[in-house]
């Protein structure tokens, strides 16, 4: 059984303010909690349904218990019926910048947590070394974002910074825009950063010197959303690496 | 002002059963409603906030009015503050199959409406001619799916059928799987259909004869979700078309 205090503490982490002040975040659902346990993240607290109690095996120094469904539902943000809820420490990778041969993605004011989650997941899938998050980008530890990464969040290095500072670093900067050089024609420098922008406003003025690249699409279509755009760019860069 | 009867009628369309029996669906938000008005869809009913009343200009034969925010919020499924809600007829493209030079996507038991929306949007962006939906695939007119297509739903031909029947048609069938020939090495026949599967179970047994193709990803990663996978496949096919 989980205490009322635990439920209250975890519900507090639904709020960004509380996540920032505590440096903690939550992961929900048996699948995601398994990914968390297999990662290098620091686990603080774990509440599981009786049928998932094998998750507790071998853990030490963790505040853990068997919870009933009602308690878990109170801890969860998104769906009813989750079998596990965990609290983990937000990782601190320090200041990150790409080195020779590496490509980073930079998220400039990405607003939707689902899109940010897709970006992190694509970064891992396609060998992007790290993701930097602009100050205006949605909280990476927003529960919707954590879920959308499907665990990639636990493995991809991330770093929040004022992206304007990238302009002072010796790195080739590209930005995904509606108009620019075709993704398929651009020769990337190294190290490189590809900036993706806000869902409505695109990449900010701060990157006016960066090389604009565009994903060719058919004439009539609305543009891709930022999660899809980052996925296509990362897949193309990985395709080149393979060939 | 919108009548209580209109609100009730539109709220009925939040339910799949009602959408199927009526053949109608809803679009929400000024941006999406604009896309609807510019498309070939049959508009049945339109409720807009006073500041969006230019949307009503030039319309005939449509049940329309100026609604207040409270009324619109009652009609909407997903967010508060939508400025327009429209009812449209679900399009009937008849039986669709790809012809020489065309590629279709087929959705075999895609369960998440957001993923299906992403697939439809990518289909339009990357010149896929049509999308066939297996009987087990989520309702295309689920409001979450309609929103996720960002309007592509109004322009991409779709057809729901028993996908097993594709095996009797003279068309090259490929299926996206975790293991198979690399997407980048496969030479596609024509016409072609690429089947994407359920989020958990993949493509069903029915396509055991189809050529399995896979998107190369790095070793440790979880696989892409089905929306991302369809996006990468469609983008790659369009890249080939351009080169």
A121:B228 CB<8 A: yes
Please indicate if any CB of chain B lies within 8 Å of the CB of A151. Answer: yes
Task: Read off φ and ψ for residue A24, nearest 5 degrees.
Answer: -115, 165
pLDDT of residue A60: 86
Burial of A78 (0-12, 13-18, 19+ CB in 10 A): exposed
CB contact B239 to A (< 8 Å): yes
DSSP class of B29: S
Which pLDDT score is estimated for A167?
87
Tell me what pLDDT residue A208 has: 86
Structure tokens, A96: 């990150």
Say what the alpha-carbon torsion angle B207, B209, B210, B214 is, to the nearest 10 degrees: 90
**B121/A228 touch (CB, cutoff 8 Å), yes or no:** yes
Beta strand extents in B15-165 (DSSP E only): 24-28, 43-48, 63-66, 84-89, 103-107, 130-133, 158-160
B170 touching chain A per CB within 8 A: no
Residue B118 touches chain A, beta carbons under 8 Å: yes
Is the predicted pLDDT of residue B221 greater than 70, yes or no?
Answer: no
Name the phi and psi angles at B217, rounded to 5.
-130, 165
Average confidence (pLDDT) over B60-74: 93
Predicted confidence at residue B101, as pLDDT, reads: 93
ipTM value, please give it.
0.92
- Number of cross-chain residue pairs from A and B with Cβ atoms under 8 Å apart: 97
Q: Is pLDDT of A38 > 70?
A: yes
B240 touches chain A (CB under 8 A): no
- Is the peptide bond between B129 and the residue preceding it cis, with omega within 30 degrees of 0? no
Cα distance between residue A37 and residue B170, in whole Å: 48
pLDDT at B220: 66
Instruction: Determine contact: A242 vs chain B, CB below 8 A.
Output: yes
Say what the pLDDT of residue B28 is: 97
The reply to whether residue B184 touches residue A239, judged by beta carbons under 8 angstroms, is: yes
Helix (H, G, I), strand (E, B) or coil at B60: coil
More confident residue, A78 or A93: A93
Rounded to the nearest integer, the mean pLDDT of chain A is 94
Residue A222 clears pLDDT 80, i.e. is over it: no
CB contact under 8 A, A217 and B238: yes
Residues of A within 8 A of B122 (CB-CB) are: 224, 228
A122: chain B residues, CB-CB within 8 Å: 224, 228
Check residue B204 and give its pLDDT: 86
- Give the DSSP per-residue string, chain A: ---HHHHHHHHHTTSHHHHHHHTEEEEESHHHHHHHHTSS--EEEEEE-GGGGGGGTT--S-EEEE--HHHHHHH-SS-S--SEEEEEEPP---S----TT-EEEEESS---HHHHHHHHHHHHHTT--EEEE-TTSPPTTSHHHHHHTTTGGGTS-EEE--GGGGGGSSSEEEEEEEEEEETTTPPP-SSEEEEE-BTTTBS-GGGTTSEEEE----TTPPPPPHHHHHHHHHHHHHHHHH-
Angle between helices A226-242 and A113-125 (to 10 degrees): 0
Is pTM beyond 0.90? Reply is: yes
**Rounded to whole angstroms, how far apart are CA atoms A167 and B104?**
43
B184 touches chain A (CB under 8 A): yes
- Burial, B240: exposed, middle or buried (Cβ in 10 Å; 0-12, 13-18, 19+)? exposed
Residue among A239, A242, A243 with most chain B CBs within 10 A, to mutate: A239
Give the DSSP letter string of B149-199: TTTGGGTS-EEE--GGGGGGSSSEEEEEEEEEEETTTPPP-SSEEEEE-BT
What's the pLDDT tens digit per position in B9-45? 999 999 999 999 999 999 999 999 999 999 999 999 9
DSSP bridge pairs for B43: B88
The answer, yes or no, to whether the previous bond of B191 is cis (omega within 30 of 0) is yes
| Among the partner residues B125, B223, B235, nearest to A221 by beta-carbon distance | B125
Whether B125 contacts chain A with CB within 8 A: yes
Q: How confident is the model at residue B135 (pLDDT cuts 50, 70, 90)?
A: very high
- How far is B55 from B50, CA to CA, in rounded Å? 10
B178 at interface of A, judged by CB pairs closer than 8 A: no
> What's the rounded mean pLDDT across residues A171-189?
95
Q: Which of B231, B233, B237, B238 to mutate to test the interface with A (most CBs of A within 10 A)?
A: B231
Nearest to A224 among B125, B127, B222 (CB): B125
Q: Cβ distance B113 to B141 under 8 Å? A: no
């Amino acid at each position: 059984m989980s205490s009322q205090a635990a439920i209250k503490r975890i519900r507090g982490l639904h709020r960004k303010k509380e996540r920032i002040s505590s440096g903690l975040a939550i992961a929900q659902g048996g699948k995601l909690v398994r990914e968390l346990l297999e990662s290098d993240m620091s686990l603080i607290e774990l509440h599981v349904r009786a049928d998932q109690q094998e998750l507790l095996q071998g853990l030490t120094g963790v505040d853990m218990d068997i919870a009933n469904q009602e308690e878990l539902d109170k801890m969860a943000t998104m769906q009813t019926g989750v079998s596990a809820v965990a609290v983990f420490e937000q990782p601190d990778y320090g200041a990150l910048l790409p080195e020779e041969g590496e490509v980073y993605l930079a998220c400039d004011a990405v607003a939707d947590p689902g899109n940010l989650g897709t970006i992190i997941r694509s970064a891992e899938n396609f060998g992007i070394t790290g993701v930097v998050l602009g100050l205006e980008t949605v909280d990476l530890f927003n529960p919707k974002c954590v879920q959308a990464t499907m665990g990639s969040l636990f493995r991809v290095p991330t770093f929040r910074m004022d992206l304007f500072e990238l302009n002072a670093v010796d790195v080739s900067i590209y930005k995904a825009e509606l108009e620019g050089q075709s993704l398929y024609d651009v020769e990337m420098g190294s190290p490189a950063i590809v900036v993706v922008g806000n869902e409505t406003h695109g990449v900010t003025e701060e990157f006016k010197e960066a090389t604009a690249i565009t994903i060719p699409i058919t004439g009539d279509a609305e543009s891709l959303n930022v999660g899809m755009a980052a996925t296509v760019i990362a897949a193309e860069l990985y395709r080149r690496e393979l060939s």
